[in-house]
């Protein structure tokens, strides 16, 4: 079956580039708002995008985010070639963090990234291994 | 409560000089942890923090916050100020500690209700 049409946005995410952190998310928010997605839904999409972006920048030596905006939903897929998450169950708990001190001092690494994503998305899937890094797919219905 | 009223009551310096002084603000949120603000602050609120680095602007912009107050005499970095102007985020600073700012902000915000 051919893939449904939709607007596709792709962003490389670079390790420790904090000066551009949030730019992909801002662009995504701007695009979905222009396409008529309401403010509350755009906020949920922004949270998913922002947390994924920061995780890749902090933990995964960078990665890649692909976003597809369809009339009734937005899908976000984030891949990285980082070290993987040894214990996903622990990482999903609020407050669990492996971020180094210098990152925490900036207010990151609160252990809220994955829980925020899971709460904001209607569908959330995560796979991770040391060999293949981490893959996250999120779907937000409009 | 407007930015103008808040700036006077809280001894603020507005560092992003393009900020609209008469925009309405409603409520506040206090945290130095970005993911908590991202997940829980509401659009239009005033964010009180000691973080002065540029990522506070991205968070404020994504959440649609009404203003950001950097407390305790922390000076926002130059890139933070530039980004705030570029993204039309009302960025303020004050020498007052967070506790004092939160108290005065709460009084001002609830006074008219």
Per-residue pLDDT tens for B48-89? 999 999 999 999 999 999 999 999 999 999 999 999 999 999
Which residues on chain B are in Cβ contact (under 8 Å) with A22?
55, 57-59, 61-62
What digits encode the pLDDT tens for the residues B16-28? 977 789 989 999 9
Question: The tokens of B65 are what?
Answer: 């916050």
For residue A111, list chain B residues with Cβ-Cβ distance below 8 A. Answer: 35
Tell me how many domains chain A contains: 1
For helices A23-34 and B55-63, what crossing angle results, to 10°? 20
Tens of pLDDT along A27-59? 999 999 999 999 999 999 999 999 999 999 999
Structural domains of chain B in order of their starting residue, each with its CATH number: 3-111 (3.40.1390.20)
d(CA A115, CA A97): 11
- Best mutation target among B30, B33, B35 (most A Cβ atoms within 10 Å) is B35
- pLDDT reading at A124 higher than 80: yes
Strand partners, B93: B13, B70
**Residue B34 and residue A26: Cβ atoms within 8 Å?**
no
For residue A101 the two structure tokens come to: 């001190």
Q: What is the ipTM of this complex?
A: 0.86
Region A9-20: mean pLDDT is 91
Residue A61 inside a domain? The answer is yes
How many residues make up chain B in this entry?
Answer: 113
Distances (CA, A) of B16 to A20, A24, B29, B57, B77: 19, 23, 20, 11, 12
Residue B112 has pLDDT above 80, yes or no: no
Q: What is the average per-residue pLDDT within B36-51?
A: 96
Average pLDDT in chain B: 94
**Would A2 be classed as within a structural domain?**
no
CATH code at position A29: 3.30.565.10
Domain ranges, residue A38? 7-141
The predicted model gives A88-101 an average pLDDT of 95
The DSSP secondary-structure symbol of A18 reads: G
């Amino acid at each position: 079956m051919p893939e449904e049409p939709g607007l596709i946005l792709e962003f490389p995410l670079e390790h420790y580039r904090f000066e551009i952190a949030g730019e992909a998310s801002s662009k995504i928010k701007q695009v979905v708002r222009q396409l008529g997605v309401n403010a509350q839904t755009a906020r949920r999409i922004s949270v998913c995008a922002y947390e994924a972006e920061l995780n890749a920048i902090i933990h995964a030596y960078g990665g890649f985010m692909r976003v597809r905006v369809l009339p009734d939903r937005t899908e976000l897929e984030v891949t990285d070639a980082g070290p993987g998450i040894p214990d996903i169950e622990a990482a999903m708990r609020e407050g669990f963090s492996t971020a180094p001190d210098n990152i925490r001092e900036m207010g990151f690494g609160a252990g809220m990234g994955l829980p925020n994503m899971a709460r904001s998305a209607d569908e959330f899937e995560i796979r991770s291994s040391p060999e293949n890094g981490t893959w996250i797919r999120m779907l937000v219905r409009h | 409560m407007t930015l103008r009223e808040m700036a006077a009551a809280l001894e603020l310096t507005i560092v992003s000089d393009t900020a609209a002084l008469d925009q309405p603000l409603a409520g506040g949120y206090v945290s130095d942890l970005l993911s908590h603000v991202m997940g829980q602050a509401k659009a239009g609120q005033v964010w009180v923090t000691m973080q002065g680095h540029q990522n506070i602007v991205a968070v404020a912009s994504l959440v649609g916050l009404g203003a950001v107050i950097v407390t305790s005499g922390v000076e926002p970095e130059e890139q933070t100020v530039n980004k705030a102007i570029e993204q039309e985020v009302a960025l303020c600073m004050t020498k007052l500690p967070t506790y004092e700012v939160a108290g005065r902000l709460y009084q001002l915000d609830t006074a008219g209700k």
